[in-house]
Amino acid sequence: MKFIVSSSALLKQLSAINGVITTNPVVPILENFLFEIDEGQLTITASDLQTSMITSLDVEAKESGSIAVPAKILLETLKNLPEQPVTFSIDKETYSVEINSDNGRYKLAGENATDFPKVPSVTDGDRVEVLSDILSKAISNTIFATSNDELRPAMTGVYLSLNDTNTTFVATDGHRLIRYRRVDVVSEMDNTMIIPRKALNLLKTTLPAENTPVTVEYNVSNAYFKFNQIQMICRLIDERFPDYENVIPVDNPNQIVIDRLELLSSLKRIAIYANKTTHQVRLKVTGSEMLISAEDLDFSNEASERLSCEHDGEDIEIGFNAKFLLEMLGNITSKEITLQLSAPNRAGLILPSESDDNEDILMLVMPVMLNNYV
């Protein structure tokens, strides 16, 4: 079996799906790309059993066939070849793959394609269409708040709730929670699912820069994303997501409006002086002034800064993990944010003061108990 393909076109498609492949996978053949040729089209699959990505491109070929090709060595070869047509010759008896270019000849050992795990297809599923920039924004706004705790698998992914009025994306790790809602993405059927973090990261890096429609199909066990020549199928997390609505405090008498970039810059400086274990910073709001401070008693380090803000409510002093605040503020684009607080031991809410009419972002962060120093 032979086929001819542009080295750079092949490299581009392989690079798009290569992120799926893990080192030391459960099944050794998953260190390979699956190449399938049919009627002059090469379909390439990469998988780690949980997530599979598929892409395709046109090649010059007279016959059909399939082979599993080692991913790492193939990518390294193509990266170091100048743009040119390359010829792949595959021996169906020995599964050896020979690549011929203008510069030379490269031979590598392939594997039998029939050993490659079958990719699940979504049957009897529902579907919705989302623009790639909306999907990318939803992933960026939530994925950083997912948990790394494998003992709570539901929290290691992003919860998605679709209905006929909006679509809500939720992520939480128990210390913070992000709820990102879009009213311009709706589904006739009410559905919920939890998409794993790895799949969303891969999707985010692969989504095209130009705005492209993404078809999303899903059933109880898998979600399927399709755009341009790329398809991604991922197994959903089969767990119950925490009842997040009950965690969001409703009555927040303290409303603080502050410049986001000023607060972000100040926190970056103050966090340097915080305890390296707790990352605790203290926010003390009196009148229209916010005092941000941190100290690390182990090293006698301390710092404080004052910022002006608009404050409606009683004076309040509350502690937060600086890392969480920095990540949250860094993912908002609004010029100003509103900080809603009720008590030093209750969760605080961060809301952008201005946002797109179609989106609604709510960020919740749990406080850190303050050890009262003067």
Name the band, by pLDDT with cuts 50, 70 and 90, for residue 373. Answer: very low
Pair 134, 189 in one domain: yes
Report how far apart, in Å, the C-alpha atoms of 68 and of each of 34, 145, 236, 304 are.
4, 37, 26, 59
Q: What integer is the mean pLDDT of 150-177?
A: 96
Residue 87 sits at φ, ψ, to 5 deg, of -105, 125
Residues 133 and 239 in one domain: yes
Is residue 165 within 8 A of residue 189, CB to CB? The reply is: no
Q: Of 370 and 348, which is predicted with more confidence?
A: 348
Domain end position, chosen among 245, 262, 294? 245
Q: Which of 154, 109, 158 is nearest to 137 (CA)?
A: 158
- Give residue 370's pLDDT: 76
24 falls in which pLDDT band (50, 70, 90)?
confident
Does the pLDDT of residue 123 top 80, yes or no?
no
Q: What is the mean pLDDT of residues 116-135?
A: 89
Question: How do residues 212-221 score in pLDDT, each as one tens digit?
Answer: 999 999 999 9
What does the pLDDT average to over 157-170?
96
Name, in order, each residue with C-beta under 8 angstroms of 69's C-beta and a sequence gap of 6 or more. Answer: 32, 33, 35, 97, 108, 110
CA-nearest of 176, 175, 197, 183 to 363 is 176
Does 100 map to a domain? yes
Can you give the residue range of the structural domain that contains 52? 2-115
Share of the chain above pLDDT 90, in %: 90
- Position 70, amino acid: P
Asked if 300 and 225 sit in the same domain, the reply is no
What pLDDT score does 331 carry? Answer: 92
Three-state SS at 263: helix
314 and 293 fall within a common domain:
yes
Q: Is 121 within a domain?
A: no
One domain for residues 132 and 230? yes
Residue 51 has pLDDT above 50, yes or no: yes
Q: Say if 372 falls within a structural domain.
A: no
- 134-147: pLDDT as tens digits: 999 999 999 999 99
- For residue 30 the two structure tokens come to 């998953």
Query: Are 6 and 102 found together in one domain?
Result: yes
Residue 228 sits in the same domain as residue 130 = yes
Number of domain units in the chain: 3
With beta carbons less than 8 A apart as the criterion, state whether 33 and 52 touch: no
**CATH number, residue 165:** 3.10.150.10
- Separation between Cα atoms, residue 225 and residue 261, nearest integer Å: 35
Please say if the pLDDT value at position 374 is more than 60. no
pLDDT tens profile 4-18: 999 999 999 999 999
Same domain, 274 and 302: yes
**Would you say residue 373 lies in a domain?**
no
pLDDT in tens, 166-202: 999 999 999 999 999 999 999 998 999 999 999 999 9
Helix, strand, coil abundance in the chain, percent, nearest 5: 20, 40, 35
Q: Are residues 83 and 142 in the same domain?
A: no
How confident is residue 357, by pLDDT bands cut at 50, 70 and 90? confident
- Closest alpha carbon to 117 in 39, 200, 50: 50
Domain identity same for 130 and 241:
yes
In a domain, 285, yes or no: yes
Report yes or no on 164 lying in a domain: yes
The crossing angle, in degrees rounded to 10, of helices 322-330 and 260-271 is 150
Alpha-carbon gap, residue 334 to 356, rounded angstroms = 10
Q: How confident is the model at residue 270 (pLDDT cuts 50, 70, 90)?
A: very high
Which residues contact residue 31 at a Cβ distance below 8 angstroms, ignoring those fewer than 6 apart? 21, 23, 25, 70, 71, 72
Please give the average per-residue pLDDT across 44-61, as a whole number: 96
Residue where one domain finishes, among candidates 64, 84, 115: 115
Q: Rounded mean pLDDT of the chain?
A: 94
Q: Is the pLDDT of residue 350 over 50?
A: yes
Q: What is the mean pLDDT of residues 77-88?
A: 96
Q: Which of 84, 115, 146 is where one domain is finished? A: 115
Q: pLDDT tens digits for 288-319?
A: 999 999 999 888 999 999 999 999 999 999 99
With respect to residue 65, please indicate whether it lies within any of the assigned structural domains: yes
In a domain, 286, yes or no: yes
Same domain, yes or no: 287 and 202: no
Same domain, 213 and 131: yes
